[in-house]
Amino acid sequence: MCEDDSTERRRISVVGVLGDRWDALGERAVARVAEAELVGGGARLLRSLDGAAARGLLGSPRRGRGVDAPKVDLVLGIDHLVSELERARCRACVLASGDPGFFGIVRKLGARLGAGRLEVHPGPSSVAVAFARLGLPWDDVAVVSAHGRPLGAAADAARRALGRGARAAVLCSPGQPPEAVATAVGDVAAEGVVCSRLGCDDESVTRLSLSEIAAGRWDGLSVLVLEPARPAGGTRSLCWERMEPPAGTSVVTPAGTPVGAPAVGAGSPTPQASLRWGLADTGFAHRDGMVTKAEVRAVVLSKLGLPSGPDPVMWDVGAGSGSVGIEWARLAPSGRVIAIERDPAGAARIAANASAHGVEVGVVVGEAPEALGGLPTPAAVFVGGGGLAVLDAVLVAAPPGTPVVAAYASLDHAAQGGNRLGSLTQVAAARGVQLPGGHWRLEGTNPVFVAWGSAPGERDT
Ligand SMILES: C[S@@+](CC[C@H](N)C(=O)[O-])C[C@H]1O[C@@H](n2cnc3c(N)ncnc32)[C@H](O)[C@@H]1O
């Protein structure tokens, strides 16, 4: 037992070390390790502590302290560690990898012992160091843990990030090493970098295709960085390839380069991966101009939003070309879109448009509102066709609070849609068309009314 006062006895120091980089610890963290009367941690770090002491990095060893203190190996479980910490009530130190507050032991210790008892000395996270080795920023990376979590869920999250053009970093583990993660992520257009044993003498950083990683054997102490594959030509931007603006529209980047201009050439910087919405109308096959125009679609999508729950379902009722549902599917990769369209030829067009945009959309051929019966419960609904009877049916069928958006060309329908949903706006875009001689004129698109709100919480019976 400690002889010191109760505060000292209640405090648990949690010290993060990346690999064997004990020399990177701050003075105070070193002191906490050296003076500890009980040391907990995984077997690798407990062994590494011996090495650090032998190299003289923890000062002169004191009897019963630091490297000479009793050890609790985390292999016996967090409950065992916690009960030993409570029983000993002495200066205790728990060793953890990297930043212990980042997918680390701080969460579990805090939940059991109270955050106020922890004094955390973070080291650099393995993910930070992996991206440092690659010379890349990581503030836009999806970090996913496969450490003690289901592999399928980690792989799904990584695929979702890749699908929206972002990098993913997967924390691997001995039970779920890089080859298992790469296999689970499967056949996606991505490259991987296996960053193993960072901060150890035998650190390695290896870039390969996903199938090569899947076929290899790797150390579990790894971060697997996944990058969306670069299409031929060197750009990895989804939008650059698919996102020509509508003919004659002038969209200018802050640097003054017109989007769609051949900016991606020799010597020009590679644009960052990004996800856009309000895609060009020309990307959707349609009948007689029956496509929700890009500017209107952008507003509609903003009002629909992206539900936060798992596997949300979106209804695109009176889907026409399917453009709204297809764009929503691109933005919500874990979601499921059901397009309802009465015209069988239109339904086939929706399926073809969806496949051209790399998303799946379920198409129900039928007349709303009857065709809405039996569909999975929606988390968002767009009513692009079918009139007020369809909107009324949607407001009854959708759970309270579900975002509902409707688009109307006619003023009287718009007013009634606004009455039901509570909000109404008009979108009238004037697109720039260039004249001979470099002058511009504006060409108006048909004004469209967008009504939006939520399915009601209480209904009159
Ligand atoms: C429970 S997580 C802890 C993450 C840690 N808190 C951090 O900030 O790096 C454990 C996983 O982190 C990664 N990791 C920890 N140390 C590493 C190292 N030295 N090199 C590569 N990956 C490491 C591995 O994916 C390992 O399985």
The helix (run of H) or strand (run of E) holding residue 12 is strand 12-17
**What is the reported pLDDT for 274?**
56
Q: Identify the residue whose C-alpha is closest to ligand 1 atom 22.
A: 222
**Full-model pTM:** 0.57
Q: How far is the CA of 197 from the centre of ligand 1 (A)?
A: 9
**What is the reported pLDDT for 253?**
24
> For 222-250, how does the pLDDT look when each residue is reduced to its tens digit (9 = 90+)?
999 999 875 443 333 222 222 232 333 22
Q: How far is the CA of 90 from the centre of ligand 1 (A)?
A: 28
**Looking at the structure, do residues 13 and 47 belong to the same domain, yes or no?**
yes
> For 100-114, how does the pLDDT look when each residue is reduced to its tens digit (9 = 90+)?
999 999 999 999 999
> For 332-357, how does the pLDDT look when each residue is reduced to its tens digit (9 = 90+)?
877 899 999 999 999 999 999 998 88
* CA distance linking residue 352 with residue 378, whole number of Å: 23
Which atom of ligand 1 is closest in space to residue 96's alpha carbon?
6
Contact 163, 189 (CB under 8 A): no
Contact 239, 273 (CB under 8 A): no
> For 176-213, how does the pLDDT look when each residue is reduced to its tens digit (9 = 90+)?
999 999 999 988 878 999 999 999 999 999 999 999 99
What values do phi and psi take at 205, rounded to 5?
-130, 115
The helix (run of H) or strand (run of E) holding residue 317 is strand 313-317
Specify whether the backbone of 370 is left (phi greater than 0), alpha (psi in -120 to 50) or beta. alpha
Q: How far is the CA of 144 from the centre of ligand 1 (A)?
A: 12
Which 3 state secondary structure label does DSSP give 312? coil
Work out the number of other CB atoms within 10 angstroms of the CB of residue 281. 19
* 97-111, 145-159, 404-418: range with lowest mean pLDDT: 145-159
Q: By percentage, how much of the chain surpasses pLDDT 70? A: 88
268 lies in some domain: no
**Looking at the structure, do residues 219 and 302 belong to the same domain, yes or no?**
no
* 77-86, 278-287, 451-460: range with lowest mean pLDDT: 451-460
Q: Which domain range does residue 291 map to?
A: 281-454
Which atom of ligand 1 is closest in space to residue 104's alpha carbon?
6
Which atom of ligand 1 is closest in space to residue 196's alpha carbon?
21
**Looking at the structure, do residues 306 and 331 belong to the same domain, yes or no?**
yes
**Looking at the structure, do residues 136 and 181 belong to the same domain, yes or no?**
yes
Last residue of a domain, one of 99, 123, 147: 123
- The alpha-helical segments, DSSP class H, found in 275-410 are 294-304, 323-331, 344-356, 387-397
* CA distance linking residue 249 with residue 247, whole number of Å: 6
**What is the reported pLDDT for 4?**
55
251 lies in some domain: no
* CA distance linking residue 40 with residue 13, whole number of Å: 10
Contact 16, 96 (CB under 8 A): yes
| Predicted confidence band of residue 262 (pLDDT cuts 50, 70, 90) | very low
Mean pLDDT of the region 270-276: 53
Return the residue matching tokens 């590494």: 48
Residue 269 has pLDDT above 70, yes or no: no
* CA distance linking residue 372 with residue 374, whole number of Å: 6
Mean pLDDT of the region 116-139: 96
**Positive or negative CA dihedral for 257, 327, 185, 173?**
positive
* CA distance linking residue 229 with residue 192, whole number of Å: 9
Burial class (CB in 10 A: 0-12, 13-18, 19+), 378: buried
441 lies in some domain: yes
Q: How far is the CA of 186 from the centre of ligand 1 (A)?
A: 23
Q: Identify the residue whose C-alpha is closest to ligand 1 atom 5.
A: 98
235 lies in some domain: no
- The rounded Cα 153 to chain-centroid distance in angstroms is 12
* CA distance linking residue 302 with residue 361, whole number of Å: 20
DSSP 398: S
* CA distance linking residue 453 with residue 417, whole number of Å: 10
**Looking at the structure, do residues 21 and 33 belong to the same domain, yes or no?**
yes
* CA distance linking residue 372 with residue 172, whole number of Å: 44
The full length of the chain comes to: 461
The DSSP result for 127-175, as a single string, is HHHHHHHHT---TTPEEEE-SSS-HHHHHHHHHHHHHTT--EEEE--SS
**Looking at the structure, do residues 406 and 440 belong to the same domain, yes or no?**
yes
Locate 301 and state its tokens: 């999508």
What values do phi and psi take at 180, rounded to 5?
-70, -40
* CA distance linking residue 427 with residue 448, whole number of Å: 5
**What is the reported pLDDT for 243?**
28
**Looking at the structure, do residues 447 and 300 belong to the same domain, yes or no?**
yes
**What is the reported pLDDT for 154?**
87
DSSP-assigned beta bridge partners for residue 202: none
Mean pLDDT of the region 109-123: 95
**CATH number of residue 39's parent domain:** 3.40.1010.10
260 lies in some domain: no
- The rounded Cα 171 to chain-centroid distance in angstroms is 15
Last residue of a domain, one of 90, 105, 123: 123
Q: Which of 20, 99, 223, 226 to mutate to test the pocket of ligand 1 (most atoms within 8 A of CB)?
A: 223
Count of the separate structural domains present in the chain: 3
Which atom of ligand 1 is closest in space to residue 203's alpha carbon?
20
In sequence order, which residues have a C-beta less than 8 Å from that of residue 201 and are 6 or more positions away?
20
Q: Which of 15, 47, 126 to mutate to test the pocket of ligand 1 (most atoms within 8 A of CB)?
A: 126
**What is the reported pLDDT for 309?**
74
**Looking at the structure, do residues 94 and 141 belong to the same domain, yes or no?**
no
Q: Which of 15, 22, 75, 97 to mutate to test the pocket of ligand 1 (most atoms within 8 A of CB)?
A: 97
Which atom of ligand 1 is closest in space to residue 122's alpha carbon?
8
| Predicted confidence band of residue 447 (pLDDT cuts 50, 70, 90) | very high
**CATH number of residue 353's parent domain:** 3.40.50.150
**Looking at the structure, do residues 224 and 191 belong to the same domain, yes or no?**
yes
Which atom of ligand 1 is closest in space to residue 199's alpha carbon?
19
Work out the number of other CB atoms within 10 angstroms of the CB of residue 442. 10
* CA distance linking residue 425 with residue 430, whole number of Å: 16
**Looking at the structure, do residues 342 and 436 belong to the same domain, yes or no?**
yes
159 lies in some domain: yes
Using CB distances shorter than 6 Å, the residues near ligand 1 are: 18-19, 97-100, 102-104, 125-126, 147, 171-173, 195-199, 220-223
Q: How far is the CA of 3 from the centre of ligand 1 (A)?
A: 35
Q: How far is the CA of 18 from the centre of ligand 1 (A)?
A: 8
**Looking at the structure, do residues 140 and 11 belong to the same domain, yes or no?**
no
Quote the crossing angle between the two packed helices 344-356 and 323-331, to the nearest 10°: 30
CA-to-CA dists, residue 16 to 12, 49, 200, angstroms? 13, 12, 14
90 lies in some domain: yes
**Looking at the structure, do residues 50 and 93 belong to the same domain, yes or no?**
yes
Nearest to 343 by CA among 396, 290, 282: 290
**CATH number of residue 179's parent domain:** 3.30.950.10
434 lies in some domain: yes
Q: Identify the residue whose C-alpha is closest to ligand 1 atom 21.
A: 222
Contact 178, 224 (CB under 8 A): yes
Q: Which of 138, 171, 201, 202 to mutate to test the pocket of ligand 1 (most atoms within 8 A of CB)?
A: 171
- Terminal Cα distance for the chain, rounded: 69
Which atom of ligand 1 is closest in space to residue 130's alpha carbon?
21
Q: Identify the residue whose C-alpha is closest to ligand 1 atom 27.
A: 173
Last residue of a domain, one of 100, 123, 146: 123
